[in-house]
């Protein structure tokens, strides 16, 4: 199936080592697996061997359907299984990051989350994963290459050629190429949806080098131990020495390794201790309720005992003193002493019970704390995700800021080039006597100002990059090259009703308001039992409850208003981008005409300088408009889900 086997074996083995060292060992114990539609098929060998290792699977009717396209969810399942992580590593990556990886994708959820945690695949700015979307050959190759331990900064070049070229180098496409004519290979569409049969060939090719070495299992070595540490270039390693950085890599590093990520993790651990603390509080309250029950039972026993003693005293006192025997007198004194002791004990128990509170009140307290515990436990992950969203938003904002700073440097240098050309023309005109000395002096000053603008722009860019390096954990002087460009993101879906419903069910602020209503109801009930219906505290609590319930009942409309306004703002900002582009085009044409006029002697130097300023400002405005729109796209995605502000649990 593959060409140049000897060459392939030595070349791919180091890459496969990285893949396997990420997660554990890959054991080759092939079973006799077959599919009804693969007889005499070129996919038969790869499909059956990968199926035996549970990397890929067929359909209940016994078919494989090699011509069916592969979805993003299916690709994550296959790549994650090929990486062969332990159950513990699946569990460590169990947090669901995507709003649309729901109950319909239970079968793929842990694989998607694991692939995302390892940097194999990314989601979209609106918080979705789009698991049912088809995967192209370019995207599938990128997933395989990333799973092997490569990242964009290690490959060089730009998407998608960087990953495609590496896949070609590792002969991952060779199985597909073997099925094509020379013309078909030359015109192969790497942007087309990947088919299941071809996917099996690509994954099998990535692992084939190891098979050729005759190895059945690769022992796991810990990073930091000699050769294994040097070869372990998996996606958990940072990019501190990188010179190129994509936006997705920047977000991943910031979420995992930055000081903001560490703060978020500490907050997450703090929230977990709060959940544990609520459990301890509930245990204490249950113990207090048991104490109340014991005291109430003891009071009942003491009251019963006191009644019997009083009956005995009454009987003995009914006997005339002169008729009482010495034994009866002694018994009367003893019973009176016992009655006094019982009264003292009864008073002590009742006083202690009054301090603890009634059983009903304690039961309400228990319900309140149980409600707090349930709320904290239910929103523990959501609170962490909100902080992750905040980190993502800050990262994107900084990344865009650096792109804007780079554009300012470019525009400033272009402006300087124009001013220097104008200086050359002005000097020439002065030499032939067509302009005055003042024009030369004015243009010299314009060049100096343009040079200062370049220095200022470069200083601003350097400062922004150093600040980002510090946040990422890089050396401050790392010469960072951002691989993404500042282009408008796609406009999100306009299904407002679905967005509002999602916000009602996921937004932390919405869930917190509903929780506040439940807590205040119980608090009102507690005050009614402790203080009474006529107490000021109870009436005040009722008003607070009514206010909170009114806010919650109006919440859906408020969210709808917020989301509709946000979506209309997105549409307006998208239109402003086109307007800004038109403004840039007009300004550039104005500069061209001003330069032509000045060179021809029909325009003034001031006209050219004014036109140059207009070009500079319009380009800066375009970049700012795109950045503002893109950040709003991210914001819109957060609005529909947990948000980006953590709450107190």
Question: What's the pLDDT tens digit per position in 161-171?
Answer: 888 888 888 88
Nearest to 132 by CA among 191, 70, 202, 79: 70
Q: CA-CA distance, 630 to 125, in Å (whole number)?
A: 9
pLDDT at 340: 92
Q: CA-CA distance, 342 to 303, in Å (whole number)?
A: 8
Encode 318-336: b = buried (16+ Cβ within 10 Å), e = exposed: eeeeeeeeeeeeebbeebb
Q: How many CA atoms lie within 13 A of 292 on its CB side?
A: 17
Give how far Cα 621 sits from Cα of 118, 310, 462, Å. 37, 96, 21
Query: 481 φ, ψ to 5°?
Result: -115, 115
Q: Is the dihedral of CA 116, 118, 122, 127 positive or negative?
A: positive
Residues 161-207: tens digit of each pLDDT: 888 888 888 889 989 988 988 888 888 889 899 999 999 999 988 87
pLDDT at 11: 35
Task: List all residues 6 or more positions away from 39 whose beta carbon is below 8 Å from its beta carbon.
Answer: none
Mean pLDDT by groups of 10 residues along the chain of 649 residues? 36 36 35 73 89 85 90 92 83 81 86 89 81 91 87 77 87 90 86 93 78 36 30 33 74 87 90 89 86 87 92 91 89 91 89 78 86 88 90 92 87 83 86 86 89 89 87 80 86 86 88 89 86 88 90 88 92 94 93 88 82 85 92 90 88
pTM: 0.55
Q: Is the dihedral of CA 322, 326, 327, 329 positive or negative?
A: positive
Distance, C-alpha 152 to centroid of its chain: 20
Q: CA-CA distance, 77 to 505, in Å (whole number)?
A: 28
Nearest to 78 by CA among 207, 189, 177, 216: 207
The kind and range of the H/E element at 244 are strand 244-245
Question: Strand, helix or coil at 195?
Answer: strand
Q: CA-CA distance, 350 to 122, in Å (whole number)?
A: 65
Task: List all residues 6 or more positions away from 524 whose beta carbon is below 8 Å from its beta carbon.
Answer: 538, 541, 542, 545
71, β-bridge pairs? 134
Q: CA-CA distance, 201 to 179, in Å (whole number)?
A: 11
Quickly list DSSP for 303-354. Answer: HHHHHHHHHHHHHHHHS-GGG--HHHHHHHHHHHHHHHHHHHHHHHHHHHHH
Question: H helices within 171-258, ranges in order?
Answer: 174-177, 182-186, 196-212, 227-231, 247-256
Q: CA-CA distance, 4 to 9, in Å (whole number)?
A: 9
pLDDT at 21: 36
**Do the beta carbons of residue 206 and residue 26 sit within 8 Å?**
no
């Amino acid at each position: 199936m593959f060409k140049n086997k000897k060459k392939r074996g030595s070349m791919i083995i180091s890459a496969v080592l990285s893949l396997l060292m990420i997660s554990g060992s890959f054991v080759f114990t092939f079973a006799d697996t077959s599919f009804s539609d693969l007889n005499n098929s070129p996919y038969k060998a790869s499909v059956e061997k990968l199926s035996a290792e549970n990397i890929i699977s067929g359909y209940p009717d016994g078919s494989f359907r090699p011509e069916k396209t592969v979805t993003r969810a299916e690709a994550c399942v296959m790549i994650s299984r090929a990486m062969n992580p332990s159950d513990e590593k699946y569990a460590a990556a169990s947090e669901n990051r995507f709003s649309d990886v729901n109950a319909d994708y239970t079968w793929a959820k842990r694989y998607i989350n694991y692939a995302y945690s390892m940097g194999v695949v990314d989601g979209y700015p609106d918080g979705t994963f789009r698991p049912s979307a088809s995967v192209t050959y370019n995207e599938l190759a990128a997933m395989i290459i990333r799973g092997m331990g490569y990242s964009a900064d290690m490959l060089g070049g730009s998407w998608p050629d960087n990953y495609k070229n590496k896949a070609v180098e590792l002969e991952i496409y060779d199985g597909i190429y073997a099925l094509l004519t020379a013309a078909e290979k030359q015109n192969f569409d790497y942007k087309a949806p990947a088919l299941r049969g071809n996917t099996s060939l690509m994954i099998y090719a990535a692992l084939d080098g190891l098979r050729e070495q005759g190895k059945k299992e690769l022992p796991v070595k810990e990073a930091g131990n000699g050769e294994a540490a040097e070869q372990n270039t998996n996606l958990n390693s940072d990019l501190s020495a990188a010179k190129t950085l994509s936006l997705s890599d920047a977000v991943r590093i910031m979420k995992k390794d930055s000081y903001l990520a560490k703060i978020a993790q500490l907050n997450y651990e703090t929230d977990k201790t709060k959940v544990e603390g609520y459990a301890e509080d509930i245990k204490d309250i249950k113990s207090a309720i048991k104490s109340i029950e014991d005291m109430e039972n003891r009071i009942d026993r003491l009251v019963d005992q006191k009644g019997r003693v009083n009956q005995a005293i009454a009987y003995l006192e009914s006997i005339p003193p002169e008729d009482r025997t010495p034994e009866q007198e002694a018994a009367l004194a003893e019973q009176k002493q016992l009655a006094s002791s019982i009264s003292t004990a009864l008073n002590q128990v009742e006083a202690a019970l009054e301090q603890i509170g009634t059983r009903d009140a304690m039961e309400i307290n228990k319900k309140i704390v149980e409600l707090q515990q349930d709320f904290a436990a239910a929103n523990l992950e959501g609170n962490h995700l909100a902080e992750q969203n905040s980190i993502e938003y800050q990262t994107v904002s900084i990344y865009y800021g650096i792109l804007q700073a780079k554009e300012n440097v470019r525009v400033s240098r272009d402006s300087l080039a124009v001013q220097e050309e104008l200086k050359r023309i002005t000097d020439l005109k002065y030499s032939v006597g067509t302009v005055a000395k003042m024009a030369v002096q004015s243009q010299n000053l314009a060049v100096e100002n343009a040079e200062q603008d370049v220095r200022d722009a470069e200083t601003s860019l350097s400062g922004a990059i150093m600040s980002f390096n510090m946040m990422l954990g890089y050396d401050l002087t790392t010469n960072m090259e951002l691989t993404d460009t500042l282009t408008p993101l796609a406009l999100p879906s306009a299904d407002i009703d679905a967005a509002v419903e999602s916000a009602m069910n996921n937004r932390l602020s919405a869930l917190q308001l509903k929780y506040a209503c439940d807590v205040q109801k119980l608090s009102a009930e507690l005050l009614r039992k402790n203080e009474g219906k006529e107490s000021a505290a109870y009436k005040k609590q009722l008003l607070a409850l009514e206010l909170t319930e009114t806010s919650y009942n109006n919440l859906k409309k408020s969210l709808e208003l917020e989301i509709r306004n946000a979506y209309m703002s997105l549409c307006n900002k998208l239109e402003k981008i086109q307007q800004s582009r038109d403004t840039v085009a007009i300004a550039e044409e104005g500069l061209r005409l001003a330069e032509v006029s000045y060179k021809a002697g029909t325009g003034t130097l001031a006209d050219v300088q004014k036109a140059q300023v207009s070009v500079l400002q319009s380009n800066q405005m375009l970049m700012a408009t795109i950045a503002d729109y893109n950040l709003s796209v991210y914001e819109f995605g957060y609005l529909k889900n947990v948000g980006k502000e953590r709450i107190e649990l």
